[in-house]
């Protein structure tokens, strides 16, 4: 009671109005503390989500890039071996090709790369020459059985401890069209573990694991868990069940473990492979809550009049955090991001790393189509401008994106670097018409050039530099399928075996290279020149239908062959037997028939001494 009278006396001294005003201020400040704390907690949760997603995205990019190289190696090699099987190539030739492919990819994939291998027509072939034990049964191995079950798709074999290398390994394998042959490659998951540990070091507050669909841990920031099973794991992520992954489209999950709260996020790397990250939000929440409490207390003692301003700032920060969380997950990989409102014809720059682009967009907001053209004109190579300007035409965007939410184009910038431009839908009307879109630019120069280099390696004969059988045959088939005409000539060197036996294989290789050079000089860039294998070559002359002109070209080639000079060979000149057949799209409509017809001409020419061409 005495305390009540003291308070009443204090109120009477300062006046009822001021007491009420002070009470209101204190009430507002109390409410502000509560609201501000909730906002801070929400922002901490968003930050934890963003960090978990960022770590997962970064880890997925690192690991997927490594796995993609192996996937391409298996797919491209399998396609070429299928082609060789279709031409009845010998197991010896196929094995030689796999050895060459193994050497080709050795620098691209990994220093611990163990090469390509497989089972072809019942024979085990290995790119590094490994000879298995007698009791080794390829058809019982997971790389073979899983490939058969995948029916032509690339199979991802779950990790295991390799008995030969003593390292954690997984396999990729592909069943060929004959339904029996399989081409495979092994991945050293030590590289994946290295990526995971690097990410864990970069983000010490997070745990990172890479798992397969059956729960097997392929890599873990705690390396002692590798090859354990996530369902039996007693550490943090034991609560993250695989069925939850399939049910949670956003990839986020909030879990509690040992009294601590975590946000987890998963990202799919490849078919049935995932990277999962977990970030502890308790520590972040406590730290952030303390900061907010101190901040509000300081505001109370410094200036009560800043309450309104503080509320306004808090509101803006809250709205900014919401926009940030929406854009953050995708902005990291893009150098430029612009928001285009098609209804209002406005252009808003969200992110721009390039100085030239920033300068061209500075101060411009209205007239989105004009801004787009002026901006891209300033930073696009001349060779790509026509194609790109057609793509960024906002007037046709509705029609092109009627049934899709994203479209993209690859083009060269003004520094001759490859980029990928992408339109992504932000908002549509109920009618489906676009209201606003994002325009984003992603640098892809390294990815593009690596992909082109891999394609070049898969199509080129390593000895001569001309196309190999798989690459050349694919181009000829494409010409046939598009209704083209021309002439296919097949040739081989006469008595080539005696050259190898007499002068050695090195001299034989010089003969092969010299013949290939004669082909390159005698035929055009638009013609398809390829080495079939050994001393056999082929050339498809585009749009050739005149036998007399064709004969003149071949005679010119034979003259160059006769002029070949190799110091070791002095007692003979190089002779070739040639068979030629014309593609007319009437009698011959497929590559096999054309090849068979030209090949029969080679056998006819062999019966005549010296270089000769037989037109079939």
Sequence ranges of the domains in the chain: 36-303+317-332, 336-445, 460-615
| Domains 336-445 and 460-615 in one fold | no
Q: Are 616 and 594 a contacting pair, CB within 8 Å?
A: no
Which pLDDT band holds residue 476 (cuts at 50, 70, 90)?
A: very high
**Would you identify the CATH topology of the domain 336-445?**
Beta-Lactamase (3.30.450)
Residue-wise pLDDT for 502-533, tens only, equals 888 898 899 999 999 999 999 998 999 999 98
pLDDT digits (tens, 9 = 90+) for 166-175: 677 888 899 9
**pLDDT at residue 316, rounded to an integer:** 44
pLDDT tens digits, one per residue of 129-138: 888 888 889 9
Quick count: other Cβ atoms within 10 Å of Cβ 193? 19
Regarding the domain delimited by 460-615, which CATH topology (the fold level of the hierarchy) does it fall under? Alpha-Beta Plaits (3.30.70)
Q: Cβ(116)–Cβ(101) under 8 Å?
A: yes
Phi/psi of residue 54, nearest 5 degrees: -60, -45
The rounded percent of the chain whose pLDDT value lies above 90 is 23
Task: Quote the pTM value.
Answer: 0.39
Work out whether strand 123-126 and strand 116-120 pair parallel, antiparallel, or are unpaired: antiparallel
In this structure, the number of other CB atoms found within 10 A of the CB of residue 437 comes to: 26
> Looking at residue 315, what is its pLDDT?
47
Residue 172 burial (CB < 10 Å; 0-12/13-18/19+)? buried
Residue of 410, 446, 408 lying closest to 65 (CA atoms): 446
For 378-431, what is each residue's pLDDT tens digit? 788 888 888 988 998 998 999 999 889 999 999 888 888 888 999 999 989 988
How wide is the angle at C-alpha 556 spanned by C-alphas 550 and 560, nearest 5°? 145
Mean pLDDT score, 342-369: 68
- The whole-angstrom separation of Cα 306 and Cα 554 is 92
**How far is the C-alpha of 54 from the C-alpha of 308, rounded, in Å?**
35
**Which candidate, 316, 323, 252, 280, places its Cα nearest to that of 39?**
316
CATH architecture label of 36-303+317-332:
2-Layer Sandwich (3.30)
DSSP 574: -
Cα 475 to its chain centre, rounded Å, is: 24
Per mean pLDDT, which of 96-105, 280-289, 548-557 is the most reliable?
A: 548-557
């Amino acid at each position: 009671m005495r305390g009540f009278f003291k308070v009443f006396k204090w109120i009477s001294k300062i006046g009822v109005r001021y007491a009420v005003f002070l009470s209101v201020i204190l009430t507002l400040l109390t409410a502000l503390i509560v609201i501000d704390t909730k906002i801070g907690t929400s922002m901490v949760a968003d930050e934890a989500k963003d960090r978990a997603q960022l770590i997962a995205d970064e880890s997925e990019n690192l690991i997927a890039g490594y796995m993609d190289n192996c996937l391409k190696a298996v797919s491209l090699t399998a396609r070429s071996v299928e082609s060789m099987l279709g031409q009845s190539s010998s197991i010896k030739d196929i094995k030689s090709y796999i050895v060459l492919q193994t050497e080709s990819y050795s620098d691209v994939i990994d220093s611990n790369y163990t090469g390509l291998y497989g089972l072809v027509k019942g024979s085990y072939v290995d790119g590094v020459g490994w000879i298995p034990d007698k009791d080794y049964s390829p058809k019982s191995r997971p790389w073979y059985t899983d490939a058969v079950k995948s029916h032509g798709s690339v199979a991802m074999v779950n990790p295991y401890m390799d008995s030969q290398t003593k390292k954690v390994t997984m396999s990729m394998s592909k069943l060929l069209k004959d339904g029996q042959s399989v081409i495979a490659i092994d991945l050293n998951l030590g590289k994946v573990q290295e990526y995971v540990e690097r990410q864990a070091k970069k983000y010490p507050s997070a745990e990172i694991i890479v798992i397969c669909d059956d729960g097997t841990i392929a890599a873990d920031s705690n390396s002692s868990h590798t090859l354990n099973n996530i369902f039996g794991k007693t550490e943090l992520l034991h609560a993250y069940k695989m069925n939850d992954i399939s049910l949670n489209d956003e990839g986020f999950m909030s879990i509690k473990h040992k009294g601590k709260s975590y946000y987890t996020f998963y990202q799919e790397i490849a078919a049935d492979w995932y990277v999962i990250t977990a970030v502890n939000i308790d520590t972040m929440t406590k730290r952030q809550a303390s900061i907010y409490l101190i901040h509000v207390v300081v505001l109370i003692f410094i200036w009560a009049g800043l309450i309104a301003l503080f509320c306004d700032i808090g509101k803006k920060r809250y709205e900014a955090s919401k926009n940030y969380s929406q854009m953050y997950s995708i902005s990291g990989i893009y150098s430029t991001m612009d928001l285009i409102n098609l209804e209002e014809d406005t252009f808003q720059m969200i992110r721009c790393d390039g100085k030239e682009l920033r300068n061209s967009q500075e101060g411009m907001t209205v007239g989105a189509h004009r801004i787009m053209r002026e901006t891209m004109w300033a930073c696009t190579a001349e060779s790509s401008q026509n194609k790109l300007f057609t793509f960024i035409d906002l007037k046709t965007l509705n029609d092109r994106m009627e049934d899709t939410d994203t479209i993209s184009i690859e083009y060269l910038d003004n520094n001759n670097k490859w980029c990928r431009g992408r339109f992504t839908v932000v908002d549509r009307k109920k009618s489906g018409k676009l209201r606003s879109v994002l325009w984003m630019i992603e640098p892809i120069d390294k990815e593009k050039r690596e992909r082109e280099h891999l394609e070049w390696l898969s199509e080129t004969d390593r000895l001569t530099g001309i196309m190999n059988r798989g690459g050349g045959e694919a181009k000829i088939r494409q010409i046939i399928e598009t209704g083209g005409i021309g002439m296919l000539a097949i040739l081989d060197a006469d008595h080539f075996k005696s050259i190898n036996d007499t002068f050695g294989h090195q001299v034989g290789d010089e003969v092969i290279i010299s013949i290939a050079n004669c082909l390159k000089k005698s035929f055009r860039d638009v013609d398809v020149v390829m080495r079939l294998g050994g001393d056999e070559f082929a050339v498809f002359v585009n749009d050739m239908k005149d036998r007399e002109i064709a004969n003149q070209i071949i005679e010119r080639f034979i003259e160059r062959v006769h002029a070949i000079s190799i110091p070791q060979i002095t007692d003979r000149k190089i002779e070739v037997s040639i068979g030629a057949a014309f593609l007319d799209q009437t009698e011959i409509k497929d590559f096999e028939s054309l090849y068979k017809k030209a090949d029969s001409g080679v056998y006819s020419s062999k019966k005549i001494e010296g270089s000769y061409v037989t037109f079939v």
